[in-house]
C-alpha cells in the first residue's frame, strides 16, 4: 500500500534526476467530447518511458539505506523497466543485469546493452524472466528490482501524477493511463486520491486490472496481443490492487484493433511515435470505451515510446 505522502517523498528524492515532461493541449473533438484535453508526453522521459521515475526512487532509496550492494541490481522486464533500472543504476555507479523475455523487441534489447547492462533473454513471458531474475539476485546478492510491485517503484511512478496537478493548477477531472502490472496506475492514483479520477485502460487480451477487481484480488491471466511487450504482466501487482480498490480506479478494456488504430492516429495527427501499450489509453477515447461527461477535463498519459516506428510510414 502506498499513499500521497509516499509519492511526495519520492518526488523530493528524484528531483533533478528525471525530466519534467510537457503537456500538449489538444482539440478533444477527434478523440471524445470534453471541455479540455491534454496529452501528457511522458514518452519523452529518460529511457523513453515513465519507468525512470520509479527506478530512480527504488535505487536511490536503497543507496540511502545502505541496501545497494557491490553486486548492483538485477531486474526483470518486458523492456521498459529494464531500461529504466539500467539507466538509474548507471547514474548511481552500480552494475545492472536485466532479464527479458525472448519476445522483447530488438530495439529495447539493443538499448539495454547500450546502457551497459548485461542482458539475458529467457522464456516467452515476463513471468519467466522474473523467476530467472529472482534466482540470479539470490545467487549474487544483488538488489532485486521488481518492475511494478515495490512501494518505492510505485511511489516513484506516482510523481507523474503530482506533476500533472502542478502543470494544470489542479484543474483536472480524469486521468487515463495504460495498465499492465499496475505500477503507474497505483502511483498516479495515490498521488491524485481525492483530487481526480483515474481510468486504467488495458487490452482485452491482457485484463489484469479488470479481472483482479472482479475476482477480489490479483489473478493470473493469459498474455497475448500487440501490447504484450509492454503490458504483458500475467497478474496485477498487489500494491496496484490495493490502491485501485481504495481509490476507485475504473477499468476499461480495448481491442488490439483499436490499439493499432490509436497508435497510427497519434502519428498521423500529432507526429508522436508511441508503443502499442501507450496507445491503449488513446484507444479508449477513440472507440468510446470511456466517454467523458460534458465539461470534463481529461488528461491522457502517453507513457512510452520504445518501439520500431517503421510501420507508421
pLDDT at 217 over 90: yes
CATH fold, domain 51-145, is Rossmann fold (3.40.50)
CA distance 33 to 27: 9
pLDDT at 7 over 90: yes
Chain segment 256-274, per-residue pLDDT in tens:
999 999 999 999 999 999 9
Q: Can you give the pTM of this predicted structure?
A: 0.94
The CATH 3.40.50.1100 portion of the chain extends over 4-50+154-312, 51-145
Chain segment 31-66, per-residue pLDDT in tens:
999 999 999 999 999 999 999 999 999 999 999 999
CA distance 254 to 283: 7
pLDDT value at residue 79: 75
pLDDT at 300 over 90: yes
pLDDT value at residue 194: 97
CATH fold, domain 4-50+154-312, is Rossmann fold (3.40.50)
The residue whose grid cell reads 517503421 is 310
CA distance 264 to 101: 26
Chain segment 130-189, per-residue pLDDT in tens:
899 999 999 999 999 999 999 999 999 999 999 999 999 999 999 999 999 999 999 999
Is 126 in contact with 78 (CB distance < 8 Å)? yes
The torsion defined by the Cα of 138, 142, 144 and 147, in degrees rounded to 10, comes to -130
Is 79 in contact with 105 (CB distance < 8 Å)? yes
In terms of C-beta density within 10 A (0-12 exposed, 13-18 middle, 19 or more buried), how is residue 252 classed? buried
Q: Residue 27 has which C-alpha cell?
A: 482539440
Distance of CA 2 to the CA centre of its chain: 16
CA distance 267 to 29: 17
Amino acid at each position: 500500500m502506498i499513499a500521497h505522502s509516499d509519492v511526495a517523498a519520492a518526488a523530493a528524492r528524484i528531483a533533478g534526476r528525471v525530466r519534467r515532461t510537457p503537456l500538449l493541449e489538444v482539440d478533444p473533438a477527434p478523440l471524445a467530447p470534453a471541455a479540455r484535453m491534454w496529452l501528457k508526453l511522458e514518452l519523452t522521459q529518460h529511457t523513453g518511458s515513465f519507468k525512470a521515475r520509479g527506478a530512480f526512487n527504488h535505487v536511490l532509496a536503497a543507496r540511502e539505506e545502505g541496501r545497494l550492494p557491490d553486486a548492483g541490481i538485477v531486474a526483470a522486464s518486458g523492456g521498459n523497466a529494464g531500461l529504466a533500472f539500467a539507466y538509474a543504476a548507471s547514474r548511481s555507479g552500480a552494475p545492472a543485469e536485466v532479464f527479458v523475455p525472448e519476445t522483447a523487441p530488438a530495439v529495447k534489447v539493443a538499448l539495454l546493452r547500450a546502457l551497459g547492462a548485461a542482458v539475458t533473454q529467457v522464456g516467452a513471458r515476463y513471468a519467466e524472466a522474473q523467476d530467472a531474475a529472482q534466482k540470479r539476485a539470490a545467487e549474487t546478492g544483488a538488489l532485486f528490482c521488481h518492475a511494478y510491485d515495490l512501494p518505492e517503484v510505485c511511489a516513484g511512478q506516482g510523481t507523474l501524477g503530482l506533476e500533472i496537478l502542478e502543470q494544470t493548477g489542479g484543474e483536472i477531472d480524469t486521468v487515463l493511463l495504460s495498465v499492465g502490472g499496475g505500477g503507474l496506475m497505483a502511483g498516479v492514483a495515490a498521488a491524485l486520491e481525492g483530487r481526480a479520477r483515474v481510468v486504467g485502460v488495458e487490452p482485452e487480451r491482457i485484463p489484469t486490472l479488470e479481472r483482479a477487481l472482479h475476482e477480489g484480488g490479483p489473478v493470473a491471466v493469459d498474455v497475448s496481443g500487440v501490447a504484450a511487450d509492454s503490458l504483458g504482466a500475467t497478474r496485477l501487482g498487489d500494491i496496484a490492487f490495493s490502491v485501485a480498490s481504495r481509490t476507485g480506479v475504473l477499468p476499461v478494456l480495448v481491442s488490439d484493433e483499436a490499439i493499432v488504430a490509436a497508435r497510427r492516429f497519434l502519428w498521423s495527427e500529432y507526429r508522436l511515435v508511441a508503443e502499442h501499450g501507450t496507445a491503449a489509453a488513446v484507444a479508449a477515447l477513440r472507440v468510446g470505451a470511456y466517454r467523458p461527461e460534458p465539461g470534463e477535463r481529461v488528461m491522457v498519459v502517453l507513457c512510452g515510446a520504445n518501439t520500431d516506428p517503421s510501420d507508421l510510414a
